[in-house]
C-alpha cells in the first residue's frame, strides 16, 4: 500500500507536457480538486474576506477602493475559473500553464511590470514528504496565489491581516507578497528539524544495531532532501534576482524584509547540504562499522576453526580402524600403555601451540603482519 502511494506520487514528479504541443495550452491534471477561490481585500481600516464562486465578481475589486486585493485559488481543477482569473489579472498564458503543471521548477519571472513566482510548500506526512506547488502572481495592488494541494501555511498571514497585526495592513501588495513567500520558506524549518532529529537517532542506531531498515531510512532522508533542495535552491536564486532587479513594485522598506527572506532561503540550503553530507557520512560510518563487525566475526571464526582443526585431525587419525594385530606398524599407539594420555597431550600441545602462534601475531596470525604492521613511513 505504502509503495503504491509513493509510486503514484512520483509518477507526477516530472511534469507531463506532450512534446510539440502548443505552448500556453492548459491541460488539467484530471485528479485535481475543484478550485476554491477566496478573496481578501483590505486597507488600513477596512477588510473584506469572502469566497468567490463566480470569477466575474473579481474585477469589481480591482478599482482604486482597495489598496490590496489578495485572491487565493486552492485546487486547480477547473480551466474556466483559472482562465477567468488569468484574464482578470492579465496573467500570461505561459504563466498559467506553469500554474497548472505541477512539479515546476521554482522561479521568478517578470511579465511586463508584474512578477510571477513559483515556489513549493513542504510538510512531513506520515510516511513521506508532501510538497505543494504555490504560484504567486504579484501586481500593483493585488496578489494572486494558486495552490495545487492540501497544505496551507498562509493561515497565519490571514490572521495578521484580520487582526491588524504588524504593519501588514498599512503597506502595499509587495509586502503581502513578501509575507506569503516568507510563510512558504518558513515551513521548511520544521521539516528540516525533524530530519535533523531523525539523523541523530539513526546515528546511534547505525553503530549499535543496524539493519536494512536503517539503511533504507537514511536513504529516504537523503532522497527527500534532494526533493527539498530542488525546490529551495532555485527559489533562493529567484529571490536574489528579485533583490537585484529592483523594479519599483517593491519599496526599499519591503526590500529589507525580502533580504531577510533571502537569508532564510540561504540558511535552508545550508542545512540541506549539511544534512545530505551527514547522510552520506552515515552511510560511510555504516560501511565501516559493518566491516568492523564482519572482521570480528571472521576473527572469531578463524580462531575457532584454527584451534579445533588439529585435535580433530588427531582424533580422526586415532579413530581409524586399522587392525593392530596384523602388523606392528598398524597403530601401535592404540596399544601403548600411555597411548591415550599421549594423544590427549598431543592435542593439548597442538592447541597451545596454535594459541601461542595466534597471540604472538596479534590474535590473528599472519606472517606479513609482524613485519609490516608498524610501517616505517
Residues within window 209-268 making contact with a copy of itself, judged by CB under 8 A: 210-213, 215-217, 219-220, 222-223, 226, 230, 234, 256-257, 259-260, 263, 266-267
Q: What's the closest the beta carbon of residue 160 comes to a copy of itself, in angstroms?
A: 6
Q: What's the closest the beta carbon of residue 257 comes to a copy of itself, in angstroms?
A: 6
Walk across the sheet containing 142-147 and list its strands.
Answer: 47-52, 36-42, 68-74, 142-147, 129-139, 114-124, 107-111
Distance in angstroms (rounded) separating the CA atoms of residues 73 and 372: 72
Q: Smallest Cα–Cα separation from 334: which of 312, 319, 347?
A: 319
Contact window for a copy of itself (CB under 8 A) among 27-35, 43-51, 132-140, 319-327: 319-327
Q: Smallest Cα–Cα separation from 98: which of 115, 84, 116, 112?
A: 116
- What is the x/- site pattern for a copy of itself, positions 131-160, by CB under 8 A? ----------------------xxxxx-xx
Distance in angstroms (rounded) separating the CA atoms of residues 290 and 218: 15
**Nearer to a copy of itself among residue 56 and residue 226 (C-beta):** 226
Question: For residue 261, what are the contacts with CB-CB under 8 A and spacing of at least 6?
Answer: 178, 181, 182, 185, 239
Local structure of 100: helix, strand or coil: helix
- What is the x/- site pattern for a copy of itself, positions 83-122, by CB under 8 A? ---------x-x---x-----xx-x-x-x-----------
**Nearer to a copy of itself among residue 83 and residue 220 (C-beta):** 220
Which residues lie across from 109 on neighbouring strands? 116
Contact window for a copy of itself (CB under 8 A) among 35-43, 60-68, 83-91, 304-312: 304-312
User: Using CB under 8 A, which of 38, 83, 240, 306 touches a copy of itself?
Assistant: 306
Counted residue by residue, the chain has a size of 377
**Nearer to a copy of itself among residue 30 and residue 54 (C-beta):** 30
Contact 161, 40 (CB under 8 A): yes
Half-sphere exposure of 104 (CA within 13 A, CB side): 25
**Nearer to a copy of itself among residue 141 and residue 158 (C-beta):** 158
Q: What's the closest the beta carbon of residue 194 comes to a copy of itself, in angstroms?
A: 9
Question: Interface residues for a copy of itself in 176-195 (CB under 8 A)?
Answer: 179, 182-183, 186-187, 189-190, 192-193
**Nearer to a copy of itself among residue 73 and residue 268 (C-beta):** 268
Q: What's the closest the beta carbon of residue 130 comes to a copy of itself, in angstroms?
A: 14
Question: Interface residues for a copy of itself in 3-62 (CB under 8 A)?
Answer: 3, 6-7, 10-11, 13-25
Contact 135, 102 (CB under 8 A): no
125 phi, psi to nearest 5 deg: -80, -170
Q: Which three cell numbers stand for residue 128?
A: 513521506
Q: What's the closest the beta carbon of residue 108 comes to a copy of itself, in angstroms?
A: 11
**Nearer to a copy of itself among residue 58 and residue 185 (C-beta):** 185
Distance in angstroms (rounded) separating the CA atoms of residues 276 and 219: 10
Q: Does 305 bind a copy of itself (CB under 8 A)?
A: yes
Contact 258, 250 (CB under 8 A): yes
Sign for the CA dihedral angle at 272, 278, 281, 285 comes to negative
User: Using CB under 8 A, which of 124, 283, 350, 355 touches a copy of itself?
Assistant: 283
User: Using CB under 8 A, which of 26, 36, 289, 346 touches a copy of itself?
Assistant: 289
Question: Interface residues for a copy of itself in 338-377 (CB under 8 A)?
Answer: 338-341, 343-344, 347, 364-366, 368-369, 372-373, 375-377
Q: What's the closest the beta carbon of residue 366 comes to a copy of itself, in angstroms?
A: 4
C-alpha distances out from residue 283 to 83, 86, 201, 295, Å? 49, 48, 14, 18
Contact 354, 306 (CB under 8 A): yes
Amino acid at each position: 500500500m505504502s509503495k503504491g502511494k509513493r509510486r503514484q506520487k512520483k509518477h507526477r514528479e516530472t511534469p507531463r507536457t506532450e512534446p510539440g504541443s502548443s505552448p500556453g495550452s492548459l491541460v488539467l491534471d484530471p485528479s485535481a480538486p475543484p478550485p476554491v477561490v477566496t478573496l481578501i481585500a483590505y486597507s488600513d481600516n477596512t477588510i473584506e474576506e469572502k469566497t468567490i464562486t463566480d470569477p466575474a465578481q473579481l474585477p469589481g475589486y480591482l478599482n482604486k477602493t482597495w489598496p490590496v486585493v489578495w485572491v487565493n485559488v486552492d485546487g486547480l481543477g477547473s480551466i474556466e475559473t483559472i482562465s477567468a482569473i488569468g484574464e482578470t489579472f492579465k496573467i500570461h498564458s505561459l504563466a498559467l500553464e506553469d500554474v497548472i503543471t505541477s512539479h515546476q521548477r521554482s522561479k521568478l519571472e517578470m511579465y511586463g511590470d508584474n512578477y510571477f513566482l513559483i515556489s513549493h510548500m513542504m510538510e512531513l506526512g506520515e510516511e513521506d514528504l508532501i510538497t505543494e506547488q504555490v504560484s504567486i502572481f504579484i501586481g500593483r495592488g493585488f496578489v494572486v496565489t494558486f495552490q495545487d494541494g492540501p497544505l496551507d501555511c498562509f493561515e497565519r498571514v490571514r490572521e495578521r491581516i484580520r487582526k491588524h497585526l504588524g504593519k501588514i495592513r498599512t503597506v502595499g501588495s509587495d509586502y503581502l507578497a513578501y509575507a506569503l513567500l516568507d510563510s512558504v520558506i518558513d515551513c521548511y524549518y520544521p521539516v528540516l528539524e525533524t530530519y535533523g532529529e531523525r539523523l541523530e537517532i539513526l546515528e546511534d542506531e547505525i553503530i549499535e544495531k543496524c539493519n536494512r531498515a536503517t539503511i533504507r531510512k537514511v536513504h529516504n532522508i537523503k532522497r527527500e532532501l534532494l526533493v527539498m533542495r530542488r525546490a529551495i535552491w532555485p527559489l533562493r536564486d529567484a529571490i536574489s534576482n528579485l533583490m537585484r532587479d529592483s523594479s519599483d513594485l517593491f519599496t526599499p522598506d519591503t526590500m529589507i524584509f525580502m533580504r531577510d527572506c533571502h537569508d532564510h532561503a540561504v540558511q535552508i540550503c545550508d542545512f540541506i547540504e549539511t544534512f545530505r553530507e551527514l547522510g552520506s557520512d552515515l552511510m560511510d560510518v555504516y560501511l565501516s562499522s559493518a566491516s568492523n563487525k564482519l572482521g570480528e566475526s571472521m576473527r572469531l571464526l578463524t580462531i575457532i576453526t584454527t584451534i579445533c582443526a588439529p585435535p580433530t585431525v588427531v582424533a580422526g587419525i586415532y579413530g581409524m580402524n586399522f587392525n593392530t594385530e596384523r602388523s606392528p606398524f598398524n597403530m601401535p599407539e592404540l596399544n601403548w600403555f600411555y597411548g591415550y594420555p599421549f594423544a590427549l597431550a598431543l592435542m593439548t600441545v597442538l592447541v597451545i601451540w596454535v594459541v601461542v602462534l595466534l597471540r604472538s601475531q596479534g590474535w590473528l596470525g599472519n606472517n606479513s603482519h609482524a613485519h609490516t604492521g608498524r610501517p616505517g613511513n
